[in-house]
Structure 1
Amino acid sequence: MASASRAGDSLAVVILAGGDGRRMGGGKPHRLLGERSLLDRAVERARSWSKTVAISVRDRGQVGAVELPLVFDPPCLAGPLAGLAAARGLACARVLSIPCDMPFLSDDLPGRLAAALAGHAAVLASAGGRLHPVCGLWTAEGLVGIEEYAASGQTSLVGFARTIGFAVAELEDAAAENLNTPAELAAAAARLG
Structure 2
Amino acid sequence: MGSPNIEDVTGVLIAGGQSRRMGRDKRFLKVAGVSVFDRSLALLGTIFDEKLVVLAEPIEGLGVQGCSVVYDVVRNAGSLGGLLTGLIASTRARVFAIACDMPFLDQDVIRFMSSCDPTADVVVGHLEGRFHPMHAVYSKRCVPILQGMVERGELKIQSLFRCKELKVRVLTEADLLHFRSRLRSFRNINTPDDLVSAESAS
Confirm or deny a common fold (TM above 0.5).
yes
Mapped contact 2:14–2:100 kept (Cα < 8 A): yes
Q: Matched residue of 1:54: which SS?
A: strand
Distance 1:65 1:116, change over 3 A: closer
Mapped contact 1:5–1:111 kept (Cα < 8 A): no
> What percent identity do the matched residue pairs reach?
25
Residue 35 (structure 2) aligns with: 37
Residue 78 (structure 1) aligns with: 77
Deviation at 1:77, TM superposition (A): 5.1
Instruction: Please give the alpha-carbon distance, in whole angstroms, between the structure 2 residues aligned to 1:85 and 1:97.
Output: 10
Instruction: Please give the alpha-carbon distance, in whole angstroms, between the structure 1 residues aligned to 2:56 and 2:11.
Output: 17
Mapped contact 2:95–2:137 kept (Cα < 8 A): yes
1:121 maps onto 2:131 in alignment: no
Most deviating of 174-183 and 164-173: 164-173
- 1:26-84 deviations in Å (ceiling 9; x for gaps): 21010111111110111111111112111111011276452122111123451111111
Residue of structure 2 aligned with 1:183, choices 193, 196, 199: 193
* TM value normalised by structure 1: 0.87
Instruction: Please give the alpha-carbon distance, in whole angstroms, between the structure 1 residues aligned to 2:150 and 2:117.
Output: 23
Q: Matched residue of 1:60: which SS?
A: coil
Instruction: Please give the alpha-carbon distance, in whole angstroms, between the structure 1 residues aligned to 2:52 and 2:183.
Output: 26
Residue 179 (structure 2) aligns with: none
Residue 102 (structure 1) aligns with: 102
Deviation at 1:148, TM superposition (A): 2.1
Instruction: Please give the alpha-carbon distance, in whole angstroms, between the structure 2 residues aligned to 1:126 and 1:14.
Output: 20
- 1:84-125 deviations in Å (ceiling 9; x for gaps): 111121110110001111121211233322354355311112
For the aligned residues, what is the CA RMSD? 2.1
1:28 maps onto 2:26 in alignment: yes
Question: After superposition, where does 1:1-193 map in structure 2 within 5 Å?
Answer: 3-4=2-3, 6-8=5-7, 10-61=8-59, 64-67=62-65, 68-76=67-75, 78-87=77-86, 88-117=88-117, 119-163=119-163, 164-170=166-172, 171=176, 172-192=182-202
Distance 1:25 1:159, change over 3 A: same
Provide runs of 4+ in structure 1 moved above 4 Å. none
* TM value normalised by structure 2: 0.84
